Structure 1
Amino acid sequence: MVEWKKMLFCVICFVVVMLMPIEWIPLAGINIVQQRLLAIFVLAALLWVLEPIPVFATSLLIISLLLTLISNQGLAPAISAIQQQDPALLLHYKSIFAAFSSPIIILFLGGFALAVAATKYELDINLARVLLKPFGTQPKFVMLGLMLITAVFSMFMSNTATTVMMLAILAPVLSGLPDEDPGVRGLVLAVPVAANVGGIGTPIGTPPNAIALQYLVGEHSVSFGTWMAFAIPFVIVMLAFAWVLLQKLFPTQSAEVKVNIDSKFRRSPQAWIVYITFATTILLWLTTKLHGMNAYVVAILPLTVFTMTRIITKEDLKKFNWDVIWLVAGGIAIGAALENTGLASSLAHSVDYSVMTVFWIIVSLAILCWMMANFMSNTATANLLMPIAAAMATTLSASGQLEDVRLLLIIVAMSASMGMVLPVSTPPNALAYASGKISNGDMAKVGIIVSSLGILILLVVAKLML
């Protein structure tokens, strides 16, 4: 009954935003499509947070509402009002369905292929044995090792690809713990947290960093070493805090974590194909600048090799987490709709920065960036807000109010990476949720606490440096 009450509340909020007079919405120049999308966005946010229905079902509902209410092939009575106002406002239905074939979806499928093949041929057990052995068997140190390895890899390769690899390594570790042990949830959550935070450490670790660098040119350019000198201390503090927090929230009931130390690498031809393909994929992810293929293109290669060599069969394909594919597709669809309709831009420009001091401009941009990144791609969020931040920084620098424009842009870029509250917030979050070991509530609890501290630290640093 409680779930029905939550659902009813969500629906009422949706209807209220959908039907309220458009002039009541405090966004300049908003149109009917943007109003309907805002209603869908509010519904999605409430459903993802309150979870009266499964999160993947929310994603399918989002796509259905986008198609029926604001697409050019939507329900006739629903779109007639839009056609009378301006038919060009309608989204093309193919652009919404494209969420199911996004490069990110292919990245997930490639990741699932690596995970299934690694488990089938015990590569994950052996990797866990090799990489985690130096950290001993105490759960807290195993978690520390897991987070450090994940964070370091995420600094130099896609954090999604890193998460795929680390969850594969974690699987045999979890098999040695009872499912009801809270420590299992802590270990699983440690991977996406470390992946999200670790990517901040280098200019190439996450797309928002690279986007910021596009605006940091000439006398304001930032070298690789300078970025790391600023970001690595932040990453270390965040990882240390997250490590302690996860142990407090999810204390393990086990005295030690044992991995099957006696396991040996298999020597069969198919096992060698798995080893070589796994290593080649990781190497290609690490050396994108050398060969030109991005993480999404590389991800389809293991899927192709494993299916061609029958390492992954039809039965193995059924083991893929298809509910996560739907979950991610919904996040992609609403993120693209926010961008294509101009609603995201309207939200970004809804704050009047001209009446604020430099510090409060940084505060508002950081918080707005964090909030938007929780519900849409942090890359899309950075693309939307970075031009605003760059323009503000240039204006403030010219007037003598801001000594170094790099501060503002780097803070905004890092704030985008703090969007880690929901399964749809980042691919690492979605992959961890796909393990089935954690709930939406577990992720939200950790995400809110960790990201809030991260934003607070960034703002304190900004205040001290102004």
Structure 2
Amino acid sequence: MRQYIRYIVPILIPLIIILLPASAFPVEGLTVIQQRVIAIFLLAALCWVLEPIPIYATSVVIIVLELLLLSNKGFFLFRAEEGEPHFGELLNYSDIMATFASPIIMLFLGGFFLAMAATKYRLDVNLARVLLKPFGNQPKYVMFGLMLITAIFSMFMSNTATTAMMLSILAPVIALFGAKDPGKIAFALCIPVAANIGGIGTPIGTPPNAIALKYLTGENLITFGEWMFFGVPFVAVLLVFAWFLINALYPAQQEKIELSIKGKFLKTPKAITVYVTFALTIILWLMGSTHGMNSYTVALIPVAVFSLTGIINKEDLKKISWDVLWLVSGGIALGLALDQTGLAKLMVHSIPFDSYSPYVVLLGAAALCLLMANFMSHTATANLLMPIMAALGTSMASLVPLGGEITLILVVTFAASLGMSLPISTPPNALAHATGHVESNQMARVGVIIGVVGVALSFAMIWLLHLIDHI
């Protein structure tokens, strides 16, 4: 029976929402179009939680339903009531379709090209080999080196790909630990933790960051360099805390370990092109205010260079994580519908948030996001919450002294990436659990503490930066 519920509930509840009269909703002034958006939102939420279909497929369904039910070029029966006072404004079909080619998608595409080229020409493995040398052979320091390198890679590569690579490097080392040596748990656990934390450091590190950028525009605009100015110190502090925590909970009994990573930097013309393009792209991202190009424009430079030189060929294109791009585009489309139909503002204004302390609102939003991110995709969590938080941030006057909309969005974004308590929370966690060296309760023990401390740290750092900004 349970397996049927996964399929029936996501269809049945949105269908009921569409068929109900507007008077059945506790919100005044709800239009037919907004009612349809509620149904699509619930469909997305239920499909992302219950996963009756792949989560990227849910995003495609969202966009198609919006085109059919909400757009000015949708099915004619769904546009029959247009012009009636309670029908609402239809969305432009081209705006909905444009979510597949949003600047956010281009930013991620550029990141994927960089990561693929780095892996193909062994830049990642060779950097790991060089960067690990200074950390010696004491387990706790080697582990810190591994966490640092994993976090750095995760800022520019997929967290999943980084974890898979680092765990493969670690496999022979973990095998050297005794059967009951806690160090085995520590080494297997430190990689996914560092990958999850490291992804917060840059806008392309993880999809929730890119989704947040969609709402950080105008006065709240954050450039690639400004994000790193805040994100990298956050990652550094939380990474050190995570290292201390894992060492305290699972101290290694073995006194020395040897990491043997073979390889050397390639010196072929294509490899050198990869090195130069990788470095140049990052420099251009960091110096956005100097050259005038935004991060989205810069992201297409490696796409052009690697395509032109054949570094990334048509076979490599098949390996791009198109599912992630589709998932993000579905979230952008959902946010577009909530914003342009006015539903997000209507929902926020229907609840007296201004009567609550802004600290309570911030804490509640972060706690909700952290809880959801532990049980469902981080990207899906950000997709669902971000448009509502953006509307809430602009409408709450009491949030202005604490940074307003930008504070709320950043806290929620960071909370989305800090959901790492379970094997199902993130792909890096699943990969680490699959090694057989980490049990679910051990992962939860570390994940819950890091999640709570990480949210508290994000509050402290945002408050500190806001305070410095007003001195």
Cα distance change, pair 145–434 in 1 and its aligned pair in 2 (3 A): closer
- Residue 214 of structure 1 deviates from its aligned partner by 4.8
Q: In 2, Cα distance between the equivalents of 1:438 and 1:53?
A: 25
Aligned residue in 2 for 1:416 = 412
Deviations 1:214-253 (Å, cap 9, x if unpaired)? 58xxxxxxxx9xx97xx9997677546656788999999x
Deviations 1:303-331 (Å, cap 9, x if unpaired)? 10011111111111111111222111111
- Residue 131 of structure 1 deviates from its aligned partner by 3.0
- Residue 54 of structure 1 deviates from its aligned partner by 0.9
Deviations 1:76-105 (Å, cap 9, x if unpaired)? 223323454467611111111111101111
Aligned residue in 2 for 1:392 = 398
Cα distance change, pair 312–411 in 1 and its aligned pair in 2 (3 A): closer
Q: After the TM superposition, which of the residue ranges 361-370 and 61-70 deviates more from structure 2?
A: 361-370
Residue type at the aligned position of 1:284 = L
Matched, 1:187 2:183: no
Matched, 1:105 2:105: yes
Q: In 2, Cα distance between the equivalents of 1:255 and 1:77?
A: 73
Q: In 2, Cα distance between the equivalents of 1:462 and 1:378?
A: 20
Gaps of 5+ in 1: 155-159, 200-204, 216-223, 395-404, 424-428
Counterpart mapping for 1:82-101 below 5 A: 82=82, 84-85=84-85, 89-101=89-101
Residue type at the aligned position of 1:196 = I
- Residue 451 of structure 1 deviates from its aligned partner by 5.2
Residue type at the aligned position of 1:417 = T
Q: Is the 8 A contact 2:162 2:195 kept in 1?
A: no
Aligned residue in 2 for 1:349 = 349
Q: Is the 8 A contact 1:115 1:165 kept in 2?
A: yes
Cα distance change, pair 128–236 in 1 and its aligned pair in 2 (3 A): closer
- Residue 297 of structure 1 deviates from its aligned partner by 1.0
Structure 1 residue matching 2:169: 3-state secondary structure: coil
Deviations 1:14-69 (Å, cap 9, x if unpaired)? 22222223233233322111111111111111211222211111111111211111
Q: In 2, Cα distance between the equivalents of 1:81 and 1:174?
A: 57
Q: TM-score, structure 2 length as denominator? A: 0.70
Q: How many residues align?
A: 414
Cα distance change, pair 149–176 in 1 and its aligned pair in 2 (3 A): closer
Q: In 2, Cα distance between the equivalents of 1:124 and 1:85?
A: 59
Cα distance change, pair 422–106 in 1 and its aligned pair in 2 (3 A): farther
Q: In 1, Cα distance between the equivalents of 2:158 and 2:9?
A: 40
Q: Is the 8 A contact 1:106 1:296 kept in 2?
A: yes
Q: In 1, Cα distance between the equivalents of 2:255 and 2:57?
A: 38
Residue type at the aligned position of 2:127 = L
Q: In 1, Cα distance between the equivalents of 2:96 and 2:317?
A: 25
- Residue 435 of structure 1 deviates from its aligned partner by 11
Q: In 2, Cα distance between the equivalents of 1:272 and 1:438?
A: 33
Q: Is the 8 A contact 1:367 1:455 kept in 2?
A: no
Residue type at the aligned position of 1:195 = G
Counterpart mapping for 1:57-456 below 5 A: 57-82=57-82, 84-85=84-85, 89-135=89-135, 144-145=144-145, 148=148, 162-164=155-157, 172-177=165-170, 187-188=191-192, 190-196=194-200, 214=219, 238-239=238-239, 261-353=261-353, 355-356=355-356, 360-368=357-365, 374-376=381-383, 383-389=390-396, 391-392=397-398, 405-406=401-402, 412=408, 414-420=410-416, 437=431, 454-455=454-455
Q: TM-score, structure 1 length as denominator? A: 0.71
Counterpart mapping for 1:25-40 below 5 A: 25-40=25-40
- Residue 269 of structure 1 deviates from its aligned partner by 1.0
Aligned residue in 2 for 1:219 = none
Give me the CA root mean square deviation: 4.8
Q: Is the 8 A contact 2:6 2:52 kept in 1?
A: yes
Residue type at the aligned position of 1:274 = V
Q: Is the 8 A contact 2:189 2:432 kept in 1?
A: yes
Q: Is the 8 A contact 1:418 1:455 kept in 2?
A: yes
Q: In 2, Cα distance between the equivalents of 1:234 and 1:68?
A: 43
Structure 1 residue matching 2:80: 3-state secondary structure: helix
Q: Is the 8 A contact 1:68 1:78 kept in 2?
A: yes
Q: In 1, Cα distance between the equivalents of 2:432 and 2:334?
A: 24
Structure 1 residue matching 2:41: 3-state secondary structure: helix
Residue type at the aligned position of 1:364 = V
The share of aligned pairs that are identical, in percent, is 39
Aligned residue in 2 for 1:399 = none
Cα distance change, pair 9–387 in 1 and its aligned pair in 2 (3 A): closer
Cα distance change, pair 268–411 in 1 and its aligned pair in 2 (3 A): closer
Cα distance change, pair 249–320 in 1 and its aligned pair in 2 (3 A): farther
Aligned residue in 1 for 2:223 = none
- Residue 411 of structure 1 deviates from its aligned partner by 5.3
Q: In 2, Cα distance between the equivalents of 1:250 and 1:4?
A: 42
Gaps of 5+ in 2: 175-183, 204-208, 221-225, 370-378, 434-439, 464-471
Q: Is the 8 A contact 1:118 1:168 kept in 2?
A: no
- Residue 258 of structure 1 deviates from its aligned partner by 7.6
Residue type at the aligned position of 2:7 = M
Aligned residue in 1 for 2:7 = 7
Q: Is the 8 A contact 2:281 2:299 kept in 1?
A: yes
Q: Is the 8 A contact 2:285 2:295 kept in 1?
A: yes
Q: In 2, Cα distance between the equivalents of 1:66 and 1:72?
A: 10
Q: Is the 8 A contact 1:34 1:342 kept in 2?
A: yes
